[in-house]
Chain A
Amino acid sequence: MADLQERKIKDAQMRATINQKLVETGERERLKELLRTRLIECGWRDQLKAQCKEIVQSKGLEHITVDDLVAEITPKGRALVPDNVKKELLQRIRTFLAQQSSM
């Protein structure tokens, strides 16, 4: 039990540290840009926009809110990301972490 909690705490700490490192070096922004580019290239953005259109038409243009959109779109967005994009992103992160640890 205590281990689980410890591990969770450790996990959280680790993530925080990683994030911090990413932000400090500016790698996070670069990763995000890369991700955006790749997603546009593969057509993910257009697919998702079509989904948005349906949602807006169903809900009505006047009554659409950001929360509605986010709640509906996020799971779909996660599912629609192609694997190669995910792999590339993971690769980049791993490389970064490897650099960090070696420093």
Chain B
Amino acid sequence: MVEADFSPMESEPDMQVAMDSLMQELIDEVTLGLCFEVHRSCKTGAFFVADPDPETHENYSLVDRPGVDVLGQVPTKKNFECVCPSCQRHLAASRFAPHLEKCMGMGRNSSRIASRRIASNTKRDSDDSGGDDENDNDWSYGTENKKVKKLKKEKGANSPRNRKVGRIRNGVSAAVHAPTNGPQSSQESVEAVPVLETVVPNYDNMTIEDRKALLLNTCGVISEHTKKMCTRSIRCPQHSDEQRRQVRHFLLRQNRPTPDVEDVHIDIDTYDDAETQSLRESLQWEASSNSSPADSTSTNNSTASTHKRPLKSSKHSEGSKSKKQKVSSKASSSSSSKDSASTSLYDFNS
């Protein structure tokens, strides 16, 4: 087509009209764009979102008071409670993750605990072998579990965390709450059927064996105000040897009746006499001499230990368990360990 020439001869009004119409076209296009946008927001439901009605304005208006946040809430930390999916317990949110680790058995810590438990179990089994197999089997099943419980309880009692508190917990909770196990794994005390001793209020959840085990490694002096045993080492400077001896006397006297009660299943006729006698002897010896010579007590024990396991050392006596000791469960072990334990119990100055 012919190129229109925009020479200045073009009439101005025509030009003006053309330009106006062009401008109108542009404006109309922009308007159309806006209409499309509005229509789309209407159909997608976003049209009235930007400016809410006055009711919501009132409900959610800005709060500007001191001590309170913008929504009018006080800025305290809310404690969220969670329910464990496996054990159905209510837990604080901050404790949820560590609890799950132990509860479900996943994570480094729980596998470590489990493997240590297995290791200590197998060690105990190996020590107990050598004797009447049928008897051993019967008892081993029960005692294993109780030993495991015992182990946990002991660990729970002497773990660094519980050392500060000085509390002794029962059963599984002890294992759960003791993050690091003290050097108690070598402790070999027999099953842990909790015996409630009415006499001493602070040992409600501990068995006699537990206490003896404790007395072997810890000071054990019962504090007057808290009625709890001192869990520091055997050479704890707070308590004197005399105090420790008193405590052990006190506890051992309590334990006397139990051997008779427990010795139901086993042939301990001679054994019984011997061990009580040896115990009496050892105690008499202690009372008279008022010293704790390892030699004297060991000679004492050697006479009585004819039918028992050989006495290695006072501390490690529990490591070697005789059949009788194990079979008679609490009683014999208590008595035999009493002998060795009594020597080591009083063995402060070695």
Binding site for B on A (CB under 8 A): 7, 10-11, 13-15, 17-19, 22, 28, 31-32, 35-36, 39, 45, 48-49, 52-53, 56, 61, 64-66, 69-70, 73-74, 77-78, 81, 86, 89-90, 93-94, 97, 100-101
Considering the complex, give the chain A residue whose CB is closest to the CB of B3. Answer: A17
Chain A residues within an 8 Å CB radius of B31: 48, 70, 73-74, 77-78
Q: Tell whether, in the assembled complex, residue B34 and residue A93 are in contact, meaning their CB atoms are under 8 Å apart.
A: no
B36 to chain A, nearest CB (A): 7
Chain B residues within an 8 Å CB radius of A65: 39
Chain A residues within an 8 Å CB radius of B15: 97
Interface pairs (18), CB distance under 8 Å: A11-B14, A17-B3, A17-B4, A19-B22, A22-B22, A32-B30, A35-B30, A65-B39, A70-B32, A73-B31, A73-B34, A77-B30, A77-B34, A81-B27, A89-B23, A93-B22, A97-B6, A101-B8
Q: Tell whether, in the assembled complex, residue B38 and residue A49 are in contact, meaning their CB atoms are under 8 Å apart.
A: yes
Q: Is B82 an interface residue (CB 8 A)?
A: no
Cα–Cα distance between A86 and B21 once the two chains are bound (Å) = 12
Q: Tell whether, in the assembled complex, residue B24 and residue A61 are in contact, meaning their CB atoms are under 8 Å apart.
A: no
Q: Is B74 an interface residue (CB 8 A)?
A: no
Cα–Cα distance between A43 and B237 once the two chains are bound (Å) = 86
A87 to chain B, nearest CB (A): 10
Q: Tell whether, in the assembled complex, residue B30 and residue A101 are in contact, meaning their CB atoms are under 8 Å apart.
A: no
Q: Tell whether, in the assembled complex, residue B23 and residue A86 are in contact, meaning their CB atoms are under 8 Å apart.
A: yes
Task: Tell whether A90 pairs with B24 under 8 Å between CB atoms, given A56-B47, A73-B34.
Answer: no
Q: Is B26 an interface residue (CB 8 A)?
A: yes
Tally B residues with Cβ within 8 Å of A: 32
Q: Tell whether, in the assembled complex, residue A18 and residue B23 are in contact, meaning their CB atoms are under 8 Å apart.
A: no
B 1-54 contacts with A by CB, 8 A:
1, 3-8, 14-15, 17-24, 26-36, 38-39, 42, 47
Q: Tell whether, in the assembled complex, residue A100 and residue B26 are in contact, meaning their CB atoms are under 8 Å apart.
A: no
Q: Tell whether, in the assembled complex, residue A14 and residue B35 are in contact, meaning their CB atoms are under 8 Å apart.
A: no
B 188-232 contacts with A by CB, 8 A:
none
Q: Tell whether, in the assembled complex, residue B34 and residue A61 are in contact, meaning their CB atoms are under 8 Å apart.
A: no
Q: Other CB < 8 Å A-B pairs besides A69-B35, A78-B24, 10 of them?
A: A7-B14, A14-B18, A15-B21, A17-B4, A52-B34, A64-B39, A77-B31, A93-B23, A97-B6, A97-B19
